């Protein structure tokens, strides 16, 4: 038997798409910690274990994750880098930061639509006169929470010029 608190457990906070949809913003040395995920033809194989490693480091350091923000950068068909936003340097982690102008667009639907979303994003940024250097995906909730909330939001965030 499970308790009410177990069945209502929220591992991913509810995402507010209006805060990130069609927005341009600037980051000045926004702090992240980095990890890697092995992928097979872009499909992540150990995403959960990478997130657990990152979470353990954040917890041990007494840090927080602003906006529950975790960016994914597919570097090849076999690898994806994760960037978890943090509010301070984490001694046991690979610390990184991002600075510059960024554009974000929110999409909703099954992960298999990622190819359509990236094509749309490329067209959209060009129509706005923006050139992007790097594109990151933000999978805002795990599959269980997406099912619980009834929406699977994915934000594409790109550094733009």
- Which pLDDT tens digits describe the chain residue by residue (161 residues)? 333 334 455 688 999 999 999 999 999 999 999 999 999 988 899 999 999 999 999 999 999 999 999 999 999 999 999 999 999 999 999 999 999 999 999 999 998 899 999 999 999 999 999 999 999 999 999 889 999 999 999 999 999 99
Distance between CA atoms of residues 17 and 117, nearest Å: 15
Phi, psi of 128 (to 5 degrees): -95, 5
Q: Do 96 and 81 form a contact (C-beta atoms < 8 A)?
A: no
Q: What is the pLDDT of residue 26?
A: 97
Q: What is the pLDDT of residue 2?
A: 36
Q: Do 141 and 104 form a contact (C-beta atoms < 8 A)?
A: no
Token pair for 39: 């992928």
Q: What is the pLDDT of residue 43?
A: 87
Distance between CA atoms of residues 56 and 40, nearest Å: 25
Q: What is the pLDDT of residue 139?
A: 95
Q: What is the pLDDT of residue 10?
A: 64
Within 13 Å of residue 49, how many CA atoms lie on the same side as its CB? 7
**Domains of the chain as residue ranges with CATH:** 18-160 (3.20.80.10)
Q: What is the pLDDT of residue 19?
A: 97
Q: What is the pLDDT of residue 141?
A: 92
Q: Burial, 152: exposed, middle or buried (Cβ in 10 Å; 0-12, 13-18, 19+)?
A: buried
This prediction has a pTM of 0.90
Q: What is the pLDDT of residue 9?
A: 55
Q: What is the pLDDT of residue 4?
A: 36
Residue whose C-alpha is closest to residue 136's, from 92, 55, 91, 82: 82
Token pair for 38: 């092995």
Q: What is the pLDDT of residue 6?
A: 42
Residue 46, C-beta contacts closer than 8 angstroms, at least 6 positions apart: 37, 38
Q: Do 13 and 148 form a contact (C-beta atoms < 8 A)?
A: no
């Amino acid at each position: 038997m499970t308790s009410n608190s177990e069945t209502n457990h929220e591992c991913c906070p509810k995402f507010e798409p209006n805060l990130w949809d069609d927005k341009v913003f600037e980051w000045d040395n926004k702090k992240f910690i980095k990890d890697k995920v092995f992928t097979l033809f872009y499909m992540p194989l150990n995403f959960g274990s990478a997130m657990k490693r990152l979470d353990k480091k954040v917890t041990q350091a007494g840090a927080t994750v602003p906006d529950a923000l975790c960016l994914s950068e597919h570097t090849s068909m076999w690898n994806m880098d994760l960037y978890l936003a943090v509010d301070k340097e984490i001694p046991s982690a690979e610390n990184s930061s991002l600075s510059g102008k960024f554009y974000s667009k929110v999409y909703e639907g099954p992960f298999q639509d990622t190819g359509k979303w990236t094509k749309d994003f490329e067209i959209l940024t060009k129509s706005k006169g923006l050139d992007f250097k790097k594109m990151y995906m933000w999978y805002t909730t795990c599959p269980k929470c997406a099912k619980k909330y009834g929406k699977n939001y994915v934000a594409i965030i790109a550094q733009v010029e």
